[in-house]
Amino acid sequence: MLDRKLINHEFSNIKGVIFLNVASVVIPPKCVQDAYFGFTKQYIKTFGKNVIPNAWDMIRSTRKNVAKLINAEPLEIAFVKNTTEGIGIIANGLPFKPGGNVIIVDQEHPANLYTWINLQKKGVQLRVIKSRNNDIFIEDIIDKIDENTKAITISAVQFSTGVYTDLVRLGNICKDNKIIFIVDGIQAIGRLNIDVKKMNINYLACGGHKGLLATPGAGFVYCDSAIVNDVTPVYACYQSVVNHVKPLTTRTDFSKIEWHDDARRLESGNLNYAGIAGINAGVRLINKLGIKEIEKNIIELEDVLVKRIKHLGFEFRTPYDKEKSSGILCIYYPQHLENELQNILDKYNIFITNRGGYIRLSIDFYNTKEQMIKVSEAFEELSKII
């Protein structure tokens, strides 16, 4: 059972609101706000003294907590700006050779797409899987694999449909075929139980402003210790290496760089410390509540909602299938009724994403069954004008 008292305390900012928009941005809980603003206040109060050394202690703690959430080792976690940067680091850091191919799905968010498109300049072939009826089939991915397939990259949950891909199955296929398995985790991490070891994921990137409960501009990557030494960092600074000249002064050896042999090689320069402090607090809360319990709650709420609205005649963009549910539902509406739709949502105080022609409702653990009932009432009203 989720600790509702704790959740209500942490999310007092969204009291009275049915917030179904975590797939876009989360409203950070109190603990995240305290950590985020606390860092900045301390920075100012101490005139910056010791703030950065202390921040690295906080980062060590965040590494541990994030690792625990996804069943990784702390030194398999590095902090980055966002998902896009995380994906860019692996796409540009792995030693892809001309003739090799990478498999991707046509529904991917630009964060996990453009950097791969760009890689074609280096002679890497991009094999794009076409979704069918907005769904993704692992069989279609298998059909594209050959001896030159070097990596498969996919979102755990697709941003425009909410489709969850069976990462255990896909991870096993990658392992059997010696293919690097890369995951954009942002729509799943913190909401669904992602176990990188059980799923044989080699690399995962995730921004902080959705399921991690934090703010934009800070995120993390997981890099499997089995592949980390094959990744040449695209950015580097003294944080990325074992030995650096101390105090930082003029370098005399320009022949080589001694990278960390763990994910820290992927970190460079000063990081978004306030943002990472926020991630630490968010992940602590998630770990305290329990990710398995969180996932169970989200999937149950989705089920409640679907059962109550499926007979109302709406066309679902999400190919609803229990095995592929993620707590994110996309539903079409006639675009000329946009104002009427918004009026009903406002009346019920419901926050969702409107993508002009379809809406996306994204459930998180702070939502309740009572809220799902209210949402279904709003849909009933909407169905009368469609």
Residues of the shown chain interacting with ligand PLP in the complex, contacts defined by CB under 6 A: 82-84, 109, 111-112, 155, 159, 184, 186-187, 207, 219
b/e string for 346-363 if b means 16 or more Cβ within 10 A?
Answer: eeeebbbbeeeebbbbbb
Residue at token pair 């896009």: 84
Say if CB 23 and CB 159 are below 8 A apart.
yes
Task: Provide, rounded to whole angstroms, the least separation between the CB of residue 284 and ligand PLP.
Answer: 21
Q: 263 vs 344, which CB is nearer to ligand PLP?
A: 263
Task: Provide, rounded to whole angstroms, the least separation between the CB of residue 210 and ligand PLP.
Answer: 7
Residue 9 to residue 31: CA distance in whole angstroms: 10
Task: Provide, rounded to whole angstroms, the least separation between the CB of residue 25 and ligand PLP.
Answer: 8
Pairing label, strands 358-362, 353-354: antiparallel
Q: 114 vs 348, which CB is nearer to ligand PLP?
A: 114
Q: 126 vs 304, which CB is nearer to ligand PLP?
A: 126
Task: Provide, rounded to whole angstroms, the least separation between the CB of residue 184 and ligand PLP.
Answer: 5
Task: Provide, rounded to whole angstroms, the least separation between the CB of residue 254 and ligand PLP.
Answer: 33
What is the token pair recorded at 321?
């299938």
Q: 207 vs 278, which CB is nearer to ligand PLP?
A: 207
Q: 260 vs 267, which CB is nearer to ligand PLP?
A: 267
Task: Provide, rounded to whole angstroms, the least separation between the CB of residue 84 and ligand PLP.
Answer: 3
Q: Is the previous residue joined to 247 through a cis bond, with omega within 30 degrees of 0?
A: yes
What is the token pair recorded at 202?
């080699």
Q: 334 vs 357, which CB is nearer to ligand PLP?
A: 357
Angular region, 357: left φ>0, alpha ψ -120 to 50, beta rest = left
Task: Provide, rounded to whole angstroms, the least separation between the CB of residue 97 and ligand PLP.
Answer: 27
Task: Provide, rounded to whole angstroms, the least separation between the CB of residue 86 and ligand PLP.
Answer: 8
Q: 64 vs 109, which CB is nearer to ligand PLP?
A: 109
Q: Which single residue brings its beta carbon nearest to ligand PLP?
A: 207
**274 contact partners, CB below 8 Å, separation of at least 6:** 36, 37, 39, 40, 215, 218
Q: 186 vs 271, which CB is nearer to ligand PLP?
A: 186
Task: Provide, rounded to whole angstroms, the least separation between the CB of residue 267 and ligand PLP.
Answer: 16
Residue 158 to residue 165: CA distance in whole angstroms: 8
Q: Which candidate, 292, 96, 282, 299, places its Cα nearest to that of 182?
A: 96
Task: Provide, rounded to whole angstroms, the least separation between the CB of residue 98 and ligand PLP.
Answer: 28
Residue 380 to residue 368: CA distance in whole angstroms: 19
Q: Which candidate, 341, 343, 324, places its Cα nearest to that of 332?
A: 341
Q: Which candidate, 199, 177, 178, places its Cα nearest to that of 188?
A: 199
Q: Which candidate, 358, 288, 287, places its Cα nearest to that of 316?
A: 358
Q: 7 vs 103, which CB is nearer to ligand PLP?
A: 103
The 3-state DSSP class for residue 192 equals strand
**172 contact partners, CB below 8 Å, separation of at least 6:** 200
Residue 173 to residue 141: CA distance in whole angstroms: 10
Length of the chain: 386
Residue at token pair 């980055």: 80
Q: 189 vs 291, which CB is nearer to ligand PLP?
A: 189
